[in-house]
Amino acid sequence: MRGLQLRLEGRIVKRAVARRPDMRWPLPPGLAAALTGARIAGFRRRAKYILMRLDSGWSVLIHLGMSGRMLVEPVGRNDITLHEHIELETDDGWRVGFVDPRRFGSVDLIETDREDQHKLLAGLGPEPLDDAFSTPVLDAALAGKKTPIKAALLDQKIVAGLGNIYVCEALFRAGISPLRQAHTIPGARSRRLVPAIKETLTEAIAAGGSSLRDYVQTNGELGYFQHAWKVYGREGLPCPACQSDETCDGVRRIVQSGRSTFYCTRKQR
């Protein structure tokens, strides 16, 4: 969002093209028309959604899914053409592409004054970096939940914006087993978990995110938080907390609700 904001805020969309509508959700038929000629007033992020506000009273809601990226480059460079499903051009010579090979991402239109009532935003939990995301708030959301804490943290209704990598990393930092039932978290564990989530995200944002394969910033640069991963993607490697302790088997990989979980069975309980 910040990469888009840098180049697009205040600019006028000179040209917009929507090439294929069959994304995760069908693109709204009026998307290109709504963009063309509009001035981009500003940006906002909610959970994993980017909201681009137009001066027409409409907002463009963007979700990148798993493989989506926004490309921002000078007109004429055209780095990517394959899987570029939406393209726009500004009045000052910049080109923006919405690139998404898997098409798990999508874009929608919503009136700006009704943004939070959009079906995809309406039920979301608190922003993890807001003061509103606190130990008592998390405790209330986890009360009575029998699902593993790993699945609960991926549930956007409980806290909004955490994905698989950052859940694994935050649970490691908090010393909590991903298998532990959610209702057993409130108390001392929750008081470690909430700060662990905030610290993980804050550090990752400062590092420009985690570049695994196709995730890059809007200027094409890689994030570098992947070098700071302590457990994610590190199956079989020594646990950075236990180091040479021979009672630690190192980082283990399991599958929970169809997603990989990485953790240390010694440090995380």
Partner DNA sequence: CAAGAATCCTGTCAGC
Partner DNA sequence: TGCTGACAGGATTCTT
Our CB check for DNA shows the closer of 75 and 140 to be 140
CB of residue 46 vs DNA: minimum separation in angstroms? 10
CB of residue 14 vs DNA: minimum separation in angstroms? 29
CB of residue 56 vs DNA: minimum separation in angstroms? 26
CB of residue 218 vs DNA: minimum separation in angstroms? 13
Our CB check for DNA shows the closer of 38 and 124 to be 124
Q: What's the rounded Cα separation, in Å, for the pair 98 and 84?
A: 6
Sheet with 106-111: strands ordered across:
40-46, 49-54, 58-63, 106-111
Our CB check for DNA shows the closer of 39 and 183 to be 183
Strand, helix or coil for residue 230? coil
Dihedral angle of Cα 17, 88, 27, 161, to the nearest 10 degrees: 160
Binding site for DNA (CB under 7 A): 22, 24, 47-48, 63, 65-67, 82-83, 101-104, 120, 145-148, 151, 154, 156, 163-165, 182, 209-215, 223, 257-260
Tokens 């998307």 label which residue?
31
Cα distances from 246 to residues 33, 176, 186, 242, in angstroms, run 63, 20, 31, 8
Q: What's the rounded Cα separation, in Å, for the pair 177 and 97?
A: 40
CB of residue 244 vs DNA: minimum separation in angstroms? 26
Our CB check for DNA shows the closer of 11 and 28 to be 28
CB of residue 12 vs DNA: minimum separation in angstroms? 30
Our CB check for DNA shows the closer of 9 and 155 to be 155
Q: What's the rounded Cα separation, in Å, for the pair 37 and 252?
A: 53
Q: Each residue of 86-100: b (16+ CB within 10 Å) or e?
A: bbbbbeeebbbbbbb
